[in-house]
Chain A
């Protein structure tokens, strides 16, 4: 029987007479539906011819139409040239030799262009030096979306003709009124530009040309000029030196223009039982110090004394210097080694002090050093501190009528930028022009911004070294409405020639000596021993440096003797923490701060990207309470400190740097820029504000910890090798020369039937070997002795393989995409060898020798003075690859040419392969990095995408990627040979990294060609494979690092 229970929703319902219940029964909604609000306009409703039914029809139709339209495939248009340029064939790359000369980096390079777009910088084999990481990355600067696209006046765009008329008028007025016109430029070292400036001076009379290097080498220039009468820098060929002593000179970095690493690396490869010995005395842990056989941490003031002492030991003069005993002893040994080496020794110093530089020149002269070269001095630094200081003072005092700047950004790079800004605002300054690529700090403060072209769009010439000339030629039509400084000079001097013709005339007249200009343009470089050539450059430069030398205090630098200089060095003393300002391999002087490749490029030493920071020694950090800690998400956090030098204060994060000399701190230039930069690139703090008197050493610094923590983006948190000597094999020259290979580079053993068997023997192999003896079999050889960790290969790989930039946040989460990384390891004990020993002596879990505590200890690097080793790691292309066996969709497979292939379109993103890879070289696309505004670096705008290599796929979200051993390059080499019907010669096969390596550390080739370099390297005693005990049989070889610890 059905129940008659009554259910009620509200107590009100129990009241039978409730009116509310009755009302609600009739009404669906409690409150009135505001239909009037949207249907209230009755007249409009009635006027409309669309009924409800019609509306539904429209909706239905449009939905159907939209879905039908979506079924249609996209129509792809192809637009050929109307008139195809003869030299361009779509799909075939053209190479042009050109030269970068941005005032900081000078190098002759080859530019690879595709369909008229420059896409990659490569080394010019005919040039003596190779392109560093910044030069490799400079191609991206061409496609910078923040470039100035045309001339501007007071922030508004104008035309070049307006610019010309107005500036001509003003310059003429100034000439007539006799006011001074100042040209403030970078170092051009360009014969034609010097000539143009002379012409300009002639025409306008009262003209002052001030050359300004943001990172000054003025002291070295002054010292050289005083001694040798030429404003230049001594050239060093380290390949000719058997003993190298460096006092604070980061000559593998940017010391005196850089470019010394190729020569250095040559001497580092042990040949006939010999290699060079390198002793480094320095404060910051630099790239050079990391490569040294013996590194002596010393504060800048100790370095000065050490240099004086070295001088006294070598020349036999006595000097009373108070140095800590261990440094004194080391200096004594270094001196005796230098003396023993005699003409095979060389000494360099990075102390920015005329006396120090004079001493260095004197020592080298005294040694008769073969590596020391004054015949072909380096011309790429011309700046004068005094001239710049005078200019700033004059501007402030209103003595300057016009300033025209090119290639400089003084408002960012001057320590007294505010004085300069004041000078710019001075009413007596009638004209201010800045030739700039971007609206940087200076450009946005002047009247006229003259939009300058990128060097890949310009003509130019450079005298890199005396008698070594180099040409710049455009590799693309100017992308924007730009005009280079030299062209403007031509117009101002009323010359109708094109700059190209002007250069050609100058070269034909005084450089080529009858040689062909076209040949020189083709080669990019031209060398002559004819001494008269430098006269053009010399003439103008001398007049410039006259100003420099006669500075405001009126004293002219005359040559002082080494002894005097050494005594002067000793007398200087320092108090407090000593700050050494340095340039990073990635960022340099900060011109390319808007280059995401360089921002993401991890510093070779700290392995930190997207930042600059204060490097502090462990002892000082403990004293000051500075902490670095690893946090749960895998990133590193560091204390924020306030750095105060002479009342200039800045809050900056601190990194505890192993090997930093106690009592010294370091900070890198190039960061902290704000103008003309994307938001993501505005990283770090400006170090130029501490660059008082252009001295890279500032004493009396105080550091105090302030509240807060900074989040670093480090790509490597593990700092030591943990005694795993099979990752970086290392030995000393002595052992290398005297002991058997099995002692210092033994093959790991595994147990087979209780018999120790080498892991390379086929019996212990789980796999059937695939026959790779036919055709090509590629191997990449990496010599740990020749690798200085410069990182040119990292950027070359970036640009060749369209590797995306992921940004600081992602790098911090270890999601960096670099296919090629350069691992840096510190030793936990004094040397790596002692680490191994310690690990081998562990017994049991607990106790003094227990592994539990022992491993904990080994995790932290030796803080005082660890040994450092660099190891480039990319996909090892294992013949027995662990990644291949675990891929569920066979997206990664092996080719018979030795390459491990990765089919991106097949990958479903399980990431099993990355987990199974013992080398951790696989990179996963966590996001779509291209055409995605969340990653506002370069792949999200049309301009930036022009740098992409059309032969390599741009990977999408959710796929794994990794080094392909540049299969697109090897395949192209093979195809070219097939088409020509010839065999391939050794050296034709290259990868991006091996081609970029100017040090000869990376050699690529075919080991089936028994005569090839790489096949011979494979048979070398120093050869080993990374983690050989795993049995992966990689196709990348490493060569045991040998250190020359023999003290002479």
Chain B
């Protein structure tokens, strides 16, 4: 063993040996699985060679990334130092390996060339995010989100027939735009350190209310505007009510949501034989706005995608470069110093909730165009999904950190993940389960708070 104070770029001898050992073990395991599954000998050899080469390369890459800049520690022996330096990496790698082998052994037909390549891609992404991500202080969550998005998309398109087809991308974007529009309000409110739980109820109420007013004979465009105004008004009321109860904002908005949803249903079911159900014709332009078959100025995608894109650009840039956006961040970070700058907490709090109500109502109207029938529970899945999108994107729920651009990434990640899980044939409950399990490690990659001893 060579004892040198600065390790060579290719890593120490020990780490190379360990890497080679792991690669050989992995290869042996995969070859064993291949033989066990009675695959043709050529395939087994091909896969084994590929596994060996790729693992060895990744190990080398990995070690180099982590090895640079470290070192300089003396004493206590090579083995111990190497172990201490690479412990999380080695443990994580072994865990992933174990999962992969376990899956290969338990699920029939899991082990094929596409799965191996997908696993390697995922591994590469993890390594990239861990090695490059540490150099990015500000936008790390966006970087990790994008990497995950790319990884998921490439894995999905390799493993699932028609995943990357135009139709599927269009449908993913369509659903993403509903979730994205619903999350606008949640993002703005979260930037101030609040939570808005009234979003699903306002969505449902707007959905039913729009159809109800149309069925009464009010001109659709007027109804649309009225509903949007009503949504904004509800949001403003939410803001006013919760202004002095910011700690309890989530319960205040929840209560307001119940009132809105119950009230709408009472109004729409008076004089109706079908309590709670509203029937009517959805106008042509609204259907075109948000259905799969819709077209934007002749282009073959529904206008709602374009609307979401425009909203995302305006909000992302607006939050960064306008006075409104900067003051919003200022309030989120520190109320006291914002107050010293004469930033009105009341105006910003209320306006953020107002925008939230407005966009919730907008989403509700668009969902009517998509489904063609009013249903009060249409927004119920957005109760925690908007929250999840905000969190996965990297906006802090404590306020002041993040932005709408992050939420867009969060929305896309969630949507592609859903699409992927649906594509491999998982049912709704399994999707939700995996969602839950994945949110935590993703957030843990970039939103860890420092230890208490560093905060004193």
A joins B in a complex: no
* A→B interface (CB under 8 Å): none
